A and B are shown apart, each in its own frame.
Chain A
């Protein structure tokens, strides 16, 4: 069941982004940044974490989850450290992913060339 919800929610977010891309004619970069910021805002409003409980990966995997995770990290660090938490928290959850992106990309870039 959880899998079905992840599929439906994740798919719906992507379909909505596609609609905006095709009608508002904005670039993909604008949409991704918009979604990221939206994730951060919804997290601040206390909406994104319950949404993530409900939809699981359907809410975590889209880039909104990235923005939300940054905010979660910041708030949790603020509770622990005070104002420094606003800065140390940015990569608390997302850090693993970012470092992973750098390491894996570097490794694979070493071994492959662009195709076509």
Chain B
């Protein structure tokens, strides 16, 4: 059998993904995490001077939450059901950093944990900065901010 033929056969025989069930789980868990974030944001807005500061504190708190849940070993178990519901919120970002830190610690704090801590989260940081840069550059030129 030719490779193309076999690849076709494989595609035809893949088990279906439970798309609706996955979406519902992602919706509820993701929504719940954002609601927790809203609680923090509301509290922060009462204490901080500016909107941006309140936002920063909220992000930090959510990151701490993600880190703790990862260290407890439950974040990945929730992810099996919730999928994007735990990957998309910033808690997911924290999970990538903490899980990498926990995993690579055994190769030493310096060369293991230190160098690999952002192995999963790296792309988000790199492309966040790159896209932000391009957007901010264009906008600054358009608005004549330079």
Give the interface of A toward B (CB within 8 A). 2-3, 6-15, 17-19, 21-23, 28-29, 31-33, 35-37, 39-41, 43-44, 52, 56-58, 60-63, 65-67, 69-76, 78-79, 82-83, 85-86, 89-90, 92-98, 100-102, 104-106, 108-116
The 5 residue pairs across chains A and B that have the minimum distance between CB atoms: A10-B34, A14-B30, A11-B31, A57-B37, A44-B135
Measured between beta carbons, the chain A residues less than 8 angstroms from B28 are: 11
B129 to chain A, nearest CB (A): 5
Q: Give A35 to B92 CA distance when docked, in angstroms.
A: 13
- Given A105-B97, A106-B113, the answer on whether A10 and B140 have CB atoms closer than 8 Å is no
The residue from B38, B117, B123, B138 contacting A3, defined by CB atoms under 8 A apart? B38
Name A's interface SS.
helix
Contact A13 B30 (CB under 8 A): yes
Measured between beta carbons, the chain A residues less than 8 angstroms from B145 are: 75, 78-79, 82
Measured between beta carbons, the chain B residues less than 8 angstroms from A33 are: 123-124, 127
Count A/B pairs, Cβ under 8 Å: 278
Q: Tell me the residues in window 14-47 of chain B with beta carbons closer than 8 Å to chain A beta carbons.
A: 17, 19, 22-42
Measured between beta carbons, the chain A residues less than 8 angstroms from B36 are: 57
Give the interface of B toward A (CB within 8 A). 17, 19, 22-42, 52, 55-60, 62-64, 67-68, 70-73, 83-85, 87-94, 97-103, 105, 113, 117, 120-121, 123-125, 127-129, 131-140, 145-146
Measured between beta carbons, the chain A residues less than 8 angstroms from B60 are: 96-97, 100
Contact B42 A2 (CB under 8 A): yes
A-B contact pairs, 25 of them (CB 8 A): A7-B31, A10-B31, A12-B27, A18-B22, A21-B84, A31-B87, A36-B131, A37-B128, A39-B128, A40-B131, A41-B135, A52-B55, A61-B58, A67-B132, A86-B136, A86-B140, A89-B136, A90-B129, A97-B59, A101-B93, A104-B94, A105-B102, A105-B117, A108-B67, A109-B102
